[in-house]
Chain A
């Protein structure tokens, strides 16, 4: 165990499609809160931040904006855990809103990761002794993404790589290639869970270790990550494509005009062959 504490930023996906089954919501939220408690109890210097994202907004569930001080010890456990639970519950009530039309939308996870990165950066600058803050981000996702926010996601991954913050991802249901790329770029783990009931076990098993301890664990290398780009005309992944030299947009076949930046491409015309006249 590291002597210094670790800052864990949890990004929790609260898309309304979670509420399709009654038991899902309860299991999901209690798994996330239990994991947060385990993190805080593991080392006295550990700190926590929880950000929730649904299809309408992102919100900090903990720490609270008003920064109230801790209440008196009520139920015999660590006061900080009680404070975390109460804060999360209070903010969740303000946030969860039933919306039947939410099927086609995606959760705003890239915005939540962005806010988490800013919070981590603030902890680094405010540390009085100037010590390096070990931080990591854990993303728990249940909804599908539509691929419309590619640029926002990539910017957050590159920033996480730059400030050495691994981005761990746990996806419930189906695979998400975009977050898989993010985990690979920033040096975190990616895992896909089939059911909500398996979530807590997976979180404790794979994501409990902090950054320093991970280097000593013998983890199998990740599977192949698909880094292909999607072409701008059909949105399909291509192996080989043509790239505009001005705006770097990807096309699957040769086009005479770039649709994003409107430049006309110079094509190489073959040289005219001089026909020798036979006498």
Chain B
């Protein structure tokens, strides 16, 4: 049995994380308070990591480059790396379109030394989900090619207008890459086009991946297990800080009417490739009156971007975020219940720390605090206070 008296040991020698030692018994001999405290600390850490008051790139065009080489059929993530990653990507695509309704996503895969674009840049999540389903049957073989996949992504990202935020997310599992030329030349082209490349590694840290992400201002991380992989990929749901070279313009946008009653049946434009639906329900483009079943969409006839006001409002949470609440020990304040859910503050460990909003001074329990900052993004105490809500009107 080796003791870790030398702190600089490598992990495979002896330095295991003794996680069982982190849990302590309290005076009455129970383990539960210690476990609840650890869970709470982990949840809070995720919230506090985000910065505020940084200009963000809201209109995002993201290409996901997925490595489907031989290394993806390894089984260190169950059942195989390929299936595990594809499952995480399905969740990611749903959440991405939920939180960034005016952004677009595309999928590129690389195997057998070539790169192929499987799904064009679009803001329709169904198309991407169908593409992911097809990728499950594709066998993983060959070697990946970083340069080819970057070139494919570059060819379409280069022509986008300058006010958008262009990103590439590479999910890389192999330890090699097979490139036709000099990757530094491709890297220079990527930097000139103002694209931000982030890499999530599944196997080990590669120098070339680290260089690419550092030069373009992206993030690089290697996952430890499947939960960690999910966390790393979901970090890219948030809009990144905008680069300095990004121009800003006014974008022409249409807000279509939705007509249900007294409408005449018409063919919709979004399903022209398969079977157009003939029905009365839909949204009509204000410029050319073409019909669409679902928004957001880009009008195929006149090129106008169609959104509804709630879609724009979904992005307001990044622009007007909810400020962090102050953490206070429960004994020090007079109110003994949570303002949101009416929970009484008993003396148990889960209720020891309560959270106070700085503007309206209302007290919230731990669960309400997490829910408000992750999902709701506005404080009901401030909304229930007539002076604060009148002052905040925009």
User: Which residues of A are at the interface with B, using a C-beta cutoff of 8 A?
Assistant: 53, 55-58, 60, 63, 65, 67, 105, 108, 110-115, 117-119, 121-122, 125, 146, 148-152, 154-159, 162-163, 181, 185, 221-230, 232, 238-248, 250-251, 254-255, 258, 260, 263-267
Would A149 and B251 count as touching, CB distance under 8 A? no
For the complex, give the distance between the alpha carbons of A27 and B253 in Å.
Answer: 46
**Pairs of residues from A and B, 7 with the lowest C-beta to C-beta distance, nearest first:** A114-B380, A111-B384, A118-B340, A148-B393, A111-B383, A122-B341, A229-B309
Given contacts A113-B380, A159-B376, A248-B312, 15 further A-B contacts (CB under 8 A): A57-B386, A65-B342, A110-B378, A110-B389, A114-B376, A114-B380, A148-B389, A155-B377, A158-B314, A222-B260, A224-B260, A240-B254, A240-B255, A248-B316, A260-B394
B319 at the interface (CB under 8 A from A): yes
For the complex, give the distance between the alpha carbons of A54 and B304 in Å.
Answer: 42
Which of chain B's residues has its CB closest to A227's CB? B308
Report if A118-B380 is in contact (Cβ < 8 Å); known contacts: A149-B393, A245-B59, A248-B312: yes
User: Which residues of B are at the interface with A, using a C-beta cutoff of 8 A?
Assistant: 55, 58-59, 162-164, 242, 247-261, 281, 286-287, 304, 308-310, 312-317, 319-320, 337-344, 367-368, 371-372, 375-386, 389-390, 393-394
For the complex, give the distance between the alpha carbons of A50 and B344 in Å.
Answer: 18
For the complex, give the distance between the alpha carbons of A119 and B365 in Å.
Answer: 12
Would B249 and A266 count as touching, CB distance under 8 A? yes
Report if A119-B342 is in contact (Cβ < 8 Å); known contacts: A114-B380, A225-B258, A244-B248: yes
Q: Which residues of B contact A119 (CB under 8 A)?
A: 340-342
Report if A223-B260 is in contact (Cβ < 8 Å); known contacts: A245-B163, A248-B316: yes
Q: Which residues of A contact B253 (CB under 8 A)?
A: 240-243, 250
| Distance of B80 from chain A, by nearest CB (Å) | 31
| Distance of B190 from chain A, by nearest CB (Å) | 22
Would A224 and B257 count as touching, CB distance under 8 A? yes
For the complex, give the distance between the alpha carbons of A241 and B313 in Å.
Answer: 15
| Distance of B342 from chain A, by nearest CB (Å) | 6
Which of chain A's residues has its CB closest to B381's CB? A111
Q: Which residues of B contact A154 (CB under 8 A)?
A: 310, 313, 316
